[in-house]
Amino acid sequence: MRNAFAVRPPVQSIKAMALHPFFLAVAYVLCMAGSALALAGMIRSGLVCAALGLLLSLYIFWKKPRSRHHATIMLIISLLVLVFGTVYYLKQFEQTANDAQGPIRY
């Protein structure tokens, strides 16, 4: 009976597969800051934060297998912010049909 417990991996190897809670909180705050900045009208800053959150979530997904569910949540948040923020940002540069300043925008 005692040998049945000998095949379990040590606790340290399991802890090494998970992300530290502090870094997990920092990653979530980065993703949420991207969405908050995008909603506040600072589109470029929001897109930069979302891009950094996307890269961080990909790193967590590949390097920390026990934290992959957190990485996918951050990936979804970052992708949504990037897609909708980019659409809104590019929509600001479209010309309207009744533009009084003309095509030059002087």
pLDDT, tens only, 41-93: 788 888 888 888 889 999 999 988 888 898 999 889 888 888 887 787 776 66
Domain ranges of the chain: 19-90
pTM of the model: 0.68
Q: Describe the chain by its helix, strand, coil percentages, rounded to 5.
A: 75, 0, 25
Amino acid (1-letter code) at residue 22: F
Cα torsion 6, 11, 12, 16 to 10°: value is 120
Please tell me the distance from the alpha carbon of residue 103 to that of residue 79, in angstroms, as a whole number.
33
The whole-number average pLDDT for the span 23-36 is 87
